Structure 1
């Protein structure tokens, strides 16, 4: 009996890299704008609410045009709710890290997410983690120590702690996404994360919502729109190329946040930040490369 081959997945690596790069730039603008909004008196709950509420129509319209409205049906709403709680916590911590630290430093510490992902995969999922990955983890943490220089007092300890916790929580989101990815498309995951987070944030708005001037409303609009565009581009990029191809674009965010921080506040990273960033990025890329090789070996077997 003959079998029908499954249609091959489209592969357009340059297009995927471009989408990922647009997403990274949008995220850099979103987080830096969140820091500017904080200066204008916007509460963190407001920032999160408008980030999600304004992005929801964009995500819904994209799903309706690409997969159809029926695609949002799910039988795993409890897992989506878990992903929402963890993801929203990580998003809040990420915004807060950009408020407490200069943008370049907050971005650099955020690069430790793959390092924490490796640790959590080994401890929780019991995935085999060899000496190479553990060496990469140690090099990454060495980069954090060089950048932060605890004895120098260059950065507020609270800001550093928030940024590291944000990376840890974001890494834990990846574990939930692995589980959801078995049955749900990326677009559906994005939609339910956005939709489920609006009601609890709406309750928070009853206590923290306030009136703003036109300029501040413009900042909030930017946060929502750039966040929504970033989410869609991140999702779309993976349709055209594997993670191993597009992931290196994420590290370009150090350039965009540095330029934005310099243009707005005159912040320029110290040399220790650049050295630490190089070690952390090298660690993350090596971990990604090892995972890619491991996945190829499994596929070949």
Structure 2
């Protein structure tokens, strides 16, 4: 009851927000959750094989959302296009194989820097596949955000890792394909359906790889994967909501906030003190994101005013 009242209050407060602002907030929430998930998965993949880890990550993601599927009715979670669901699952699995293999082998700063090439591939793909408009503000926000990333990670990049760096880099365009397929599916599938079938398809596709390298787990490792299931499902739900709320290219600048979340996780969990470059870069990243949100909101408000003025003028002139 209390939760319902909070949800209603939040809905009332957010009614005036532009679609881009909603998308940016959902993307920021997804980044925060994924930062916690990445820290946990890095620890687990240093203990067990990456292929087993990626299967368990999505199998537990499916396990934690099954009660919601049962409560909402299985029929309501059946996809309209099964082939698209498995195509997206296959693309995501290929990216996961590359990402999980490289994850325990390269420094965290290197991994983060390489991962931020993703928005570039997504923006290019969104323009080519969906013909999304590329306003100059979006390019500026992404450029500033990427500049902030370089400020943060530039002094920390190492030359170690060899082929693992290339594997992590190769995962970025593959994940971009997966996210673009998700964006396409939001036109006819609900976020819940996409979330459930991502867990199903990835679990099915990765099961043979996991069985090939399977090893017994400790109690703490089982608990870790259970937590990863909750975090992964919540993160992908937020990401899917952001794709449904706004143009995918409009929300990519918020991805750079992931570095801020990572620094926060390091400070709270491991007492890591952010360096000066991290603070400066974080300010640049946050400023770019907030600037884009304000610009897009102002443009949306102006469009509404113009539409209202045109309608009022038409009524005054007696137009039907």
Identify whether the pair has TM-score above 0.5, normalized to the shorter chain.
Answer: yes
Shift of 1:62: 1.5
Q: Are the structure 2 counterparts of residues 130 and 220 from structure 1 closer, same or farther at C-alpha, using a change threshold of 3 Å?
A: closer
Map Cα deviations across residues 264-299 of structure 1 (whole Å, 9 max, x no partner): 666555433444444445445556666667777888
Which position in structure 2 is the counterpart of 1:29?
Answer: 36
- Please list, as runs of the form range in 1=range in 2, the aligned pairs for 1:76-95 lying within 5 A after superposition: 76-95=81-100
RMSD (Å), alpha carbons: 4.3
- Structure 1 pair 22/260, CA: closer, same or farther in 2 (3 Å)? same
Distance 1:209 1:98 in 2: 19
TM-score, length-scaled by structure 2: 0.68
Is the 1:136–1:283 Cα contact (8 Å) retained in structure 2?
A: yes
Q: Distance in 2 between matches of 1:293 and 1:18?
A: 16
SS of the residue corresponding to residue 202 of structure 2 reads helix
DSSP-derived class of the 1:149 partner: helix
Q: 1:200 to 1:210 in 2, by over 3 A?
A: same
Matched, 1:60 2:66: yes
1:141-166: CA deviations, max 9, x gaps?
4334434438x753646566555544
Please give the TM-score of this superposition, normalised by the length of structure 1. 0.72
| Superposed displacement of residue 255, structure 1 | 4.5
How many residue pairs align between the two structures?
287
The secondary structure found in structure 1 opposite 2:64 is helix
Paired with 1:220 and 1:48, the residues of 2 have a C-alpha distance of: 10
Question: Structure 1: which 5+ runs fail to align?
Answer: 1-9
Q: Is the 2:31–2:258 Cα contact (8 Å) retained in structure 1?
A: yes
Provide closer, same or farther for how the CA distance between residues 123 and 232 of structure 1 changes in structure 2, counting only shifts above 3 A: closer
What are the superposed Cα offsets for residues 91-147 of structure 1, whole Å, 9 maximum, x if unpaired?
Answer: 455555653455566456545544432222234444342444333443344334434
- Report SS of the residue matched to 1:75: coil
Q: CA 1:284/1:84 → structure 2, altered by over 3 Å: closer, same or farther?
A: farther
Report whether the alignment pairs 1:50 with 2:56: yes
Kindly provide the CA deviation profile for residues 42-88 of structure 1, in whole angstroms up to 9, marking residues without a partner as x.
1111111111111113223213324x211122331111112112223
**Paired position in structure 1 for 2:195:** 190
Q: 1:21: how far off?
A: 7.5
- Other-structure match for 1:138: 143
In the TM superposition, what are the counterparts of 1:156-195 in structure 2 within 5 Å?
156=160, 161=166, 164-195=169-200
Of residues 186, 199, 205, the one that matches 2:210 is 205
| Residues 209-220 of structure 1 mapped to structure 2, 5 A cutoff | 209-220=214-225
| Contact 1:47 1:223 (C-alpha < 8 Å) held by counterparts | no
C-alpha distance in 2, partners of 1:164/1:104? 13
1:11 counterpart residue number: 11
Moved more, 191-200 or 163-172: 163-172
1:262–1:99: structure 2 CA closer, same or farther, 3 Å change rule?
farther
Structure 1 residues 292, 71: CA separation in 2 closer, same or farther (over 3 Å shift)? farther
Which secondary structure state, in structure 1, belongs to the residue aligned with residue 215 of structure 2?
A: coil
Secondary structure, aligned partner of 1:62: helix
Q: Distance in 2 between matches of 1:292 and 1:162?
A: 38
Determine if contact 2:195/2:236 at 8 Å carries over to the other structure: yes
Residue 154 of structure 1 corresponds to which residue in structure 2? 158
Question: Closer, same or farther in 2 for the Cα pair 1:83/1:128, shift >3 Å?
Answer: same
CA distance in 2, matches of 1:121, 1:199: 28
